[in-house]
Structure 1
Amino acid sequence: MTAVRLPQGLPRRLPVRQVLCLVPLALVLVVAVQHRSVLAEGFGHLRSAEWPWLVVAAAATCLTWVAAAFTRQGAVVQRLPARRLLATQFAAGAANHLLPTGLGASAVNLRFMTVCGVPLARSSAALALYMLAEAITRTGLLLVLLVAFPDALRLGGVVPSSAAGPLLFAAAGAVCVAVAVLLSVRRLRTAVLSFLRTALYEARTVHSRPARALALWGGSLAFPVLQAAGLTAVGRAMELPVPPAHMAIAYLAATLAVAAVPTPGGIGSVEAALVVALVAAGGPVAVATAVVLAFRIITVWLPLLPGALTLGALMRLKVI
């Protein structure tokens, strides 16, 4: 049997997986070019900051990936490979900043769990449980801090009081429309009920194991605490005249406010919300803006390229 040779001069086709591995790098380049002015200004602020506090902020950022790995493991009964799980969280962070908020990390983690042998229905339920636990702990932490520091945010001079009514009305209208669509479409209603049954079963199974429950809720609490600590450290590095607890409240309030905004990684919306929250906490506009830009450089832009490279490597190795 003779081997078939390709005619000379014809280019060889690259495998689809190799091409997909290059997509994250291309997206990083596109996003960096689009936000080059923000990058330049952010790096300029970093040069004038106190570096020991910046090291603390960078360390807190690195620990958020560990917290995310604990939470992901806590949301599923099956044991996941620890090193690959941690690498996946680092890569998921990059994917989350390149795609609409939440979709990038969700897709990466869903693919990782299915490759590890977790059925799709259970992987989706684990993903929903992770998001629910993260939302509950973030909201609960904010409420506790607001009770402890009721005067931390002074929104009266920043957000018009007349805007609260329309925002609540729009949120209530969106919920009513979603419920109406769910009740009127039979297939959608059946699919949602089936998913809820699977999710409830997985939640009961996870909470029947103390180690999994501790990882789920401990990691969910540690994640926003570490993020808020990173912002507080950057604020101290740039001498923002706002108490650390107030900066933490500002961060939690801002991130909850933009959670539903479908922008890649919250880029643009998170910065604006954080500046508004820090100003509401008593910070000068110029310093608050500098702190936010420096904070986003540390938490988003510096890990973006290595995160994209890790994502490409995981795709090439068929980990995801």
Structure 2
Amino acid sequence: MTSPPVTAAALVRRRTWWHTGAVLAVLLCAVYLGGRHWPLVASGAGRLAAADRGWLLVGAAAALATWACAALAQQGAVAERLPGARLLAAQFAASAANHVLPAGLGAGAVNLRFLMRCGLPAGRSASALAVKAAAGALTRAVLIAVLAAACPGVLRFPHLPGTTVAAALAAAAVVIVLLRGPLRSGCGRVLGAVLADIRAVHRRPQRAAALWGGSLAFAAAHCLVLIAVTHAVRLPLAPARVALLYLAASSAAALLPTPGGLGSLDAALAFALTTAGAPGAEAASAVLGYRLLTVWLPLVPGLLVLGALIRRRAV
């Protein structure tokens, strides 16, 4: 016995229910996060009440610039022209979603859906995200190397015995040998698609400039947020040192799959600032101020924008 065919009206109703459910889930998530973390937001605002308002405004402007930089880098990762207003809104929403799901899954999911809604196939959308991530990682590594050379002695890498390094390399070699077949077939296809997109982007100088310029500006804008907050709380550290400590701490915190680095980045950043000579109270205020400008203040508006984009089927 065959089931009756699904009518177009039934499909529309079903899709409407799914979108409505997604919007309600986003709104409930916004209310839950706001209520759960409100004491932290209030505490951070209280500690920053005596800070320099001018420098806090500079930090807020830099935080706003991070979403424009992310949109520029995402546009540079694809050859097709993306709708500018929706692209910027998607980056704002992705930054909020990134603080709900671990290890960048929220931002990746929002951007993947946005690119697919713009007409890109799923494979090309995923490779565009990989191109953007690779450019961001390479830009961050170059910035760390340049700042480490300009500020010698700031970064102190732990000493590892030779036997530990040799054991880690041997274990990696064994894993590669055991997974050689699956890695060659699966990773080969993924790497080929990413390299093809990289070549397509770099055949258009405007796209390449947007990709690398946006990636560089994104990292620099985050550094500027923390530099502005350290000036606001009168933390006695040079701006280049603060930028280097932020890049190193955020890179280390990215290894821990917490939503948006919550907890891991706070601890790593506070530890980096205090080991560089900052007093504990000022370092804690700087971390709270950075989080207030980049996470807590834009979190609920970002989730509301995400809900609006879902309802309009832009993601």
Which residue of 176, 179, 193 corresponds with 1:179?
176
Q: Residues 66-92 of structure 1: CA distance to partner in whole angstroms, max 9, x if unpaired?
A: 100010000011111111101100000
Say yes or no: does 1:147 pair with 2:149. yes
Provide structure 1 residue ranges, at least 5 long, that are not aligned to the other structure: 1-12
Superposition CA RMSD, Å: 2.3
Contact 1:69 1:86 in 2 (8 A): yes
Structure 2 CA distance, aligned partners of 1:170 and 1:126? 35
After TM superposition, give the deviation of residue 258 of structure 1 in Å: 1.1
1:226-265 matches, within 5 Å, as 226-265=221-260
Separation in structure 1 between the aligned mates of residue 26 and residue 60 of structure 2, nearest angstrom: 23
* 1:152 Cα offset (Å): 3.0
| Post-superposition offset of 1:179 | 3.0
The more displaced of 227-236 and 44-53 is: 44-53
Q: Distance in 1 between matches of 2:226 and 2:161?
A: 27
Per-residue Cα deviation, 1:51-78 (whole angstroms, up to 9, x for no partner): 1100000000000101000100000111
Deviation string 1:117-163 (CA, Å, 9 cap, x unpaired) is 1111111111101000000001110110110111334x48xxxx467
Partner of residue 8, structure 1: none
1:15-54 equivalences in 2 (<5 Å) = 15-54=17-56
Q: Within 1, Cα distance between the matches of 2:161 and 2:29?
A: 37
- With structure 2 as the length reference, what TM-score do the two structures score? 0.89
- Number of residues of Structure 1 aligned to a counterpart in Structure 2: 301
2:302 aligned partner = 307
**Shift, 1:259, TM fit:** 1.3
Quick one: structure 1 residues 124 and 164, their matched pair in 2 at CA, closer, same or farther if it must change by over 3 Å? Answer: farther
Q: 1:217 corresponds to which letter in structure 2?
A: W
Q: Decide which of 206, 216, 219 is 2:214's aligned counterpart.
A: 219
Q: Are the equivalent residues in 2 in contact too, given 1:99–1:265 (CA < 8 A)?
A: yes
Q: Matches of 2:72 and 2:164 in 1, distance apart? A: 35
1:76 maps to 78
* Contact preservation (8 Å) 1:228, 1:251: yes
Change (3 A) 1:36 1:192: same
- TM-score of the pair, normalised by structure 1: 0.87
Q: Which residue of 1 aligns with 2:133?
A: 131
Q: CA deviation at 1:281?
A: 2.0
Identity of aligned residues (%): 48
Shift of 1:177: 6.8
Matched, 1:198 2:217: no
C-alpha distance in 2, partners of 1:18/1:106? 22
